[in-house]
């Protein structure tokens, strides 16, 4: 076919483009439209029902002056750092161990991944029972004779977020392990052979050769972990319902409570807009690293 007879770029794969129109419209109307609607009404004093009575940045000033929101942000930062660091480190170590072609690898992989199949509600209830001071871990060890043993993070307002983080790590580390294991299995065997021939220690091979080669895997894993951190809600509700008091509040629960219990839509929209901003802080650098930062050949 001559160059003049080829269809223009607009009409190439026309059937596929026509088939994608419903999804594009859905994304525009539901996601983009819903997001714009939320941001717009965050500048109003909407209560039970949305209304276009603009009050400027009053909702945001009120939001950042609320102790409950500040505690939510502090908890999210602590939870985020713990989840990000420990899930990456533990997940990579487990993946590296499984990558040694050990016996019963499939069995161990299934065991480590199984908690991820559970919902956060189930995980929260299980760990609520395990961390109960009367009949959980603390109660069992005390009945064995160690009566001074204390381990009740969910009932201590100063460390409750750490108890929630334990449950999150138990559930999510298996997925990170599988992602890391898939990345390790994609490394060419010749690289390992060359490192052994050169006498490079195992830890240096991982640190200076393997991990840099797994950059796309790490970036994807970081995005998955970060998105889970921002939207954490059901795990907190299942374990503590935000208690003791408001010690384990998180932004998602703050948004839900203000929109559906306090009947203050404007405040809930402002809080959800701040959550959207935190998501953008994660997504924009990822998009730049994956697409914008690549050198064009």
127-137 residue pLDDT tens? 999 999 888 99
Average pLDDT, the chain: 88
State mean pLDDT over 41-52.
90
- Nearest CA among 188, 171, 173, 204 for reference residue 92: 173
- pLDDT band of residue 285 (cuts 50, 70, 90) is confident
Task: Say whether 149 sits in a helix, a strand or coil.
Answer: coil
Q: In whole angstroms, what is the distance from residue 54 CA to residue 77 CA?
A: 31
12 backbone φψ class: left, alpha, beta (φ>0; ψ -120 to 50): beta
What CATH class has 56-296?
A: mainly alpha
CA 260 to chain centre: 24
Report the pLDDT value the prediction gives residue 296, as an integer from 0 to 100. 47
143-171 residue pLDDT tens? 998 988 999 999 999 999 999 999 999 99
Rounded to two decimals, the pTM is: 0.86
* C-beta separation of 282 from 223 below 8 A: yes
Report the pLDDT value the prediction gives residue 55, as an integer from 0 to 100. 93
Beta bridge partners of 44: 54
- pLDDT band of residue 125 (cuts 50, 70, 90) is very high
CA 136 to chain centre: 27
What's the CA angle centered on 130, arms 126 and 136, to 5 degrees? 140
- Listed in sequence order, the residues at least 6 apart from 145 whose beta carbon sits closer than 8 Å to its beta carbon are none
* C-beta separation of 84 from 229 below 8 A: yes
pLDDT over 80 (residue 272): yes
Phi, then psi, of 192 in degrees rounded to 5: -65, -40
64-112 residue pLDDT tens? 999 999 999 999 999 999 999 999 999 999 999 998 878 888 898 889 9
**C-alpha dist (Å) from residue 197 to 10, 45, 77, 201, 212:** 53, 69, 44, 11, 20
- Domain range summary for the chain, segments of one domain joined by +: 1-41, 56-296
User: H helices within the chain, ranges in order?
Assistant: 14-19, 21-26, 33-41, 58-64, 67-98, 105-113, 120-130, 137-143, 160-185, 189-197, 202-205, 211-213, 215-230, 234-239, 251-260, 265-287
21-32 residue pLDDT tens? 888 888 888 888
State mean pLDDT over 49-62.
92
Place of tokens 């199984």: 114
Report the pLDDT value the prediction gives residue 293, as an integer from 0 to 100. 56
Task: Say whether 54 sits in a helix, a strand or coil.
Answer: strand
State mean pLDDT over 229-235.
91
């Amino acid at each position: 076919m001559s160059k003049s007879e080829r269809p223009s770029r607009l009409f190439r794969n026309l059937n596929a483009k026509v088939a994608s129109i419903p999804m594009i419209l859905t994304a525009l109307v539901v996601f983009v439209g819903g997001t714009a609607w939320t941001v717009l009404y965050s500048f109003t004093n909407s209560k039970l029902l949305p209304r276009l009575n603009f009050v400027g940045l009053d909702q945001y000033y009120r939001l950042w002056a609320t102790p409950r929101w500040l505690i939510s942000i502090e908890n999210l930062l602590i939870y985020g750092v713990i989840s990000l660091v420990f899930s990456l480190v533990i997940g990579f170590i487990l993946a590296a161990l499984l990558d040694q072609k050990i016996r019963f690898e499939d069995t161990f992989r299934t065991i480590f991944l199984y908690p991820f199949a559970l919902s956060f509600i189930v995980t929260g209830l299980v760990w609520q029972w395990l961390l109960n001071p009367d009949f959980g871990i603390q109660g069992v060890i005390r009945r064995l004779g160690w009566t001074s043993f204390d381990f009740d993070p969910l009932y201590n307002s100063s460390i409750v977020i750490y108890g929630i983080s334990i449950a999150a790590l138990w559930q999510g580390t298996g997925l990170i392990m599988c992602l890391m294991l898939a990345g390790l299995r994609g490394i060419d065997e010749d690289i390992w052979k060359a490192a052994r021939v050169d006498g490079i220690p195992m830890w240096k091979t991982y640190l200076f050769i393997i991990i840099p080669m797994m950059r796309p895997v790490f970036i994807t894993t970081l995005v998955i972990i970060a998105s889970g951190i921002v939207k954490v809600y059901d795990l907190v509700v299942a374990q503590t319902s935000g208690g003791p008091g408001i010690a384990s509040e998180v932004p998602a629960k703050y948004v839900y409570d203000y929109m559906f219990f306090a009947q203050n839509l404007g405040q809930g929209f402002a809080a959800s807009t701040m959550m959207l901003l935190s998501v953008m802080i994660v997504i924009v650098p990822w998009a730049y690293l994956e697409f914008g930062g690549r050198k064009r050949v």
